Amino acid sequence: MQSIFLRSATLLIIYCSIVSAQQTVAMELLSKALRLADVYNWADAAPAFTEAEQLFVRTGDERNAMYAKLGRIRSNIERDQQTLPLVAAQLGEALANDPLLQNDKELRMFCFIVKGDIDTETNTAAMKGDWEQVQKLAQSIGNSKWQYRALAQLGVAAFYDADIETARKNVGTAITAATKAGDAGAQIRFLTMLAIGLVQSKMYEQALAYADNAVKIADRVQDTGYQFAAEEVRINALIGLKRLESAESKINVLLKRARETGRTVHEATGLGLAANVAVARNDRQGALSSLEEATVLGEATGLTRLLSDVYGRSSEIHRENGNLERAETLAEMASAASQVSGEVSALPKRLQTLAELQVARGRYSEADQVYDRAETFLDSMIGKASTVMEKTAVITTSGQIYSKHFALIANQFNDPRRAYNIIEQVRGRAAADLLEAGLSASPRASTVEREISQLRLKLMAAKSIDEVHRLRDHIFLREQARWTTSDASLLKAKPRDVVEIEQLQENLAPSALLLEYVIADPISYCLAISRGGSRIVRLGSKTQIETLIRAYLEVVKAKLPAIREARSLYDALLRPIKEIAQKDTLIIVRALRANIGETLLNH
């Protein structure tokens, strides 16, 4: 009996020793990983985070296992592009429901940091809230480093909201604080962020200076690793400055380092930059060769988000070369990759490109279906757009897609009923969102927002147009629940429900004529609707009409007679509509594109 007890005690001591040793090793690995992460060298931190997580799970240390897990997720952002929207949604659920993340402020802050970095890549509407939480939690635990780091990220959010002054102030303040604290990792990141913004603004010389400084700091600091992001910005700036030989030299170095370290994303990005150099040299075949290499890499490693861009750029070059069949195939692949990777904001534009290629090839019915799909995704985006940059993108894309779809229906099908439905669809959806913007959010808003996120994840995986419509309608109805209670909703209808043209005609007086304009290039249109019928009237181009409008307004503002200018404008907009001579009352609806822009910008 005593020997059994001694054996058990011995085994227990051995087990405890093993656990203790594993815990010690795990803590050392976590410390190493966090040191690398602190200088934003997340990729090199990935193995240590992964091993530490496994050891913490074995020792039953739930808190540190969660810490290491979050670090592993952040470290693999490059590799796991396709799953990022799903991961962000899962982190949101965990933050809302996991007691560990609710009660441990440091762990909660780290989770918001990880989610904030993911949302910066995939969901700019959510990123601001993430970094506000990081800043708040950092203040509550006295972590000055993450207070100014979060401030810089909020500067990025301000940039997306077109608040350039706040963006500069936040990032500038953060750089000053990081420099004073000797925080090299933050300095490198913030300088790189500024360089990216400057390249996007085509301020290439300034961007080059910031990227150069970021690289110089990294060269002096251990553990920062090769600065792929800063080098890529430098290359883009050099291409913008037409310094192509310097750009090519740096691309070769970047590709070498990417291949040595197994950084496939950056290797593919480097090949994309090589394609940019080839395009700048008017070497389309060279550009296609580089993009084909990037395609092989992306397809082999599942880099779906990167592939959507590579396919799209390849499609554009084939289109310029006159190979419309190959261009269409690649445009379809780009659209599919955007949807799968969660790039819903880019998807309508990619679908528009696909539809335009189908029209160019005479595939009108297919193009009609693709435009319908693009409009469905636009519907799901309108309620989601929160920053000025997002709204502007939605406005621009909406105007282009709906007017081009209208033109297809007018020119190839001559179907006033379908044309009317296209116009009213976008008007109704925008007006509904404007009504919602005037309401107060309900106490259930955060729960509803998570439900909407889950529905959008399903939308990314939707295959058929019927499924896309169903999910879009469900999203629309859940969006209402942010602002209203279930028994007092102002907006019960589905987003695609519009007043039918027959019903409109029944309610028009016999002497009335309704004119609904779509102003576009190369042809504008007027949909003329009366009680007795409807037809589509072709007008001049958007450029011509806008020139006449400007001329008329200039004379009117000068308080001079505008008889000649008014006559020219009448001839362009009203004379082609023969029904006017037979009617006493004209009901004129403002042009489609202006209506979209004015409505959405009021949100």
The DSSP annotation for 252-274 comes to HHHHHHHHHHT-HHHHHHHHHHH
118 Cβ contact list (under 8 Å, min separation 6): 74, 77, 84, 87, 88, 91
Residue 282, phi-psi category: left (phi > 0), alpha (psi -120 to 50), beta (remainder): left
Give the amino acid at 170. Answer: N
Paired tokens of 92: 């949101």
Q: Which tens digit of pLDDT belongs to each residue from 4-25?
A: 655 555 555 655 556 577 889 9
**Contact assessment for residue 80 and residue 87, using Cβ atoms and an 8 Å cutoff:** yes
* CATH classification for the domain delimited by 183-302, as one of 1.10.1740.10, 3.40.50.720, 1.10.1040.10, 1.25.40.10: 1.25.40.10
Calpha distance 176→174 (Å, rounded): 5
Measured at the alpha carbon of residue 408, what is the angle toward residues 404 and 411, in degrees to the nearest 5?
125
* Closest to 351 measured CA to CA, from 465, 521, 518: 465
Paired tokens of 407: 């033109």
* Closest to 446 measured CA to CA, from 135, 117, 95: 95
The ranges assigned to domains in the chain are 183-302, 440-481, 501-601
| pLDDT at residue 386, rounded to an integer | 55
User: pLDDT under 70 in the chain at which residues?
Assistant: 1-19, 82, 382-396, 426-463, 465, 468-469, 471-497, 592-603
Between the CA atoms of 536, 540, 544 and 545, what dihedral angle is there, to the nearest 10 degrees?
Answer: -30
Calpha distance 62→25 (Å, rounded): 16
129-153 as b/e: b if 16+ CB within 10 A: bbbbbbbebbeeeebeebbbbbbbb
| pLDDT at residue 19, rounded to an integer | 59
Calpha distance 248→1 (Å, rounded): 78
| pLDDT at residue 516, rounded to an integer | 92
Q: β-strand 585-589 against 512-518: which pairing, if any?
A: parallel
The residue with tokens 């988000």 is 305
Paired tokens of 372: 């319908």
| pLDDT at residue 546, rounded to an integer | 93
| pLDDT at residue 599, rounded to an integer | 33
Calpha distance 350→308 (Å, rounded): 9
Rg (CA), the chain: 29
**Contact assessment for residue 123 and residue 346, using Cβ atoms and an 8 Å cutoff:** no
Q: Between the CA of residue 241 and those of 199, 201, 280, 322, 438, what are the distances in Å?
A: 10, 13, 11, 29, 46
| pLDDT at residue 407, rounded to an integer | 94
Query: Residue 337: which H helix or E strand, with range?
Result: helix 324-340
Predicted TM-score (pTM) of this structure: 0.82
